[in-house]
Amino acid sequence: MVKAVFLDRDGVINANLRRDGKPVAPTTLAEFRILPGAPEAARRLKDAGFLLVIVTNQPDVRTGLTPKPVMEAMNEQILQRMPVDDVMICFHIDADQCACRKPKPGMILEAAKRHGIELKRSFLVGDKWRDVRAGQAAGCHTIFVDYGDPQDQPATPDKIVGSLAEAADYILARAP
């Protein structure tokens, strides 16, 4: 069985923007910026034998705020700079009641099935309560990247860090 690190996209790999005081995903390529240290952290995890899977909610595509080709171009920039093995995307909104939108673990479970991932040896890194809850529901160790933003629901991760680089340090120190 394979061990993996599941990575949220916005706020973990690339920078969020601020609108009305809240962190939000970029909606244009001009707004898109990969966070400093993210490619290097991903390379360290990959070199340690982890499969890297992005698991991202992208409701702005469904609602029309972000055109799908723009979202795909953002993902392509990540894939060009980081050794990511798979990208799982949920385009739904909460009202759709799907199994894939975080905090539900559908994307993680699908990736585990697709790649033979052993979830109890795997980690999820995210910057929202939804990420932490999805990782917990799937049976992963959870790491929360804390930017000091209030969360609209509580979640208790296994570790709180300030960046993907710090998350990588934690994972590599504890990897089974």
pLDDT tens digits, 11-56:
999 999 999 988 999 999 999 999 999 999 999 999 999 999 999 9
Q: What pTM, to 2 d.p., does this model score?
A: 0.96
Q: Which amino acid is at 59?
A: P
Question: For the domain with range 4-50+62-115+124-149+159-174, which CATH number is right: 3.40.50.1000, 1.10.3720.10, 1.10.3470.10, 3.40.50.2020?
Answer: 3.40.50.1000
Query: How would you list the strands of the sheet with 141-145, edge to edge?
Result: 86-90, 51-57, 4-7, 123-126, 141-145, 159-161
Query: Which residues participate in catalysis according to the annotation?
Result: 8, 10
Alpha-carbon span 166 to 171, nearest angstrom: 9
pLDDT in tens, 78-119: 999 999 999 999 999 999 999 999 999 999 999 999 999 999
